[in-house]
Amino acid sequence: MNSNNLTPGKHVVVTDFDGGEGILVDLNTKKYFQLNETAMVVWKGLEQGKTVGQIADDITGQYEIPLENATRSVERIVDNFQTYKLLSAK
């Protein structure tokens, strides 16, 4: 699946917590996932329909890290979301 064609699954509930972190709940599996601040930025970016590149741009702006590193991080996080079947196609 093209990672730019992904959106958070309707079966997933997200809750903000503690100034940036969050908890995801997969309603199908009843599994809970804790997201760190970066993963929450990625999740919210996907919710807003942003591409991996756009989310990486956001992270570069917020955390002053090179775009290349930010892109790698976003791709890795998106891969993890996919592994746990938390995303679906747009």
The footprint of another protein (CB under 8 A) covers 13, 15, 17-18, 21, 23, 25, 27, 30, 32, 34
Name which of 23 and 65 has its Cβ closer to another protein.
Answer: 23
Question: How is residue 67 written in tokens?
Answer: 């775009």
Cβ of residue 49: shortest distance to another protein, in angstroms?
A: 19
Cβ of residue 17: shortest distance to another protein, in angstroms?
A: 5
- φ and ψ at 41, to 5 degrees? -60, -40
Cβ of residue 57: shortest distance to another protein, in angstroms?
A: 28
Burial label for 25, CB within 10 Å (0-12, 13-18, 19+), is middle
Name which of 17 and 63 has its Cβ closer to another protein.
Answer: 17
Name which of 27 and 67 has its Cβ closer to another protein.
Answer: 27
Name which of 35 and 56 has its Cβ closer to another protein.
Answer: 35
Task: Classify 29 as helix, strand or coil.
Answer: coil
Judge whether 14 and 43 are in contact, CB under 8 Å. yes
DSSP state of 90: -
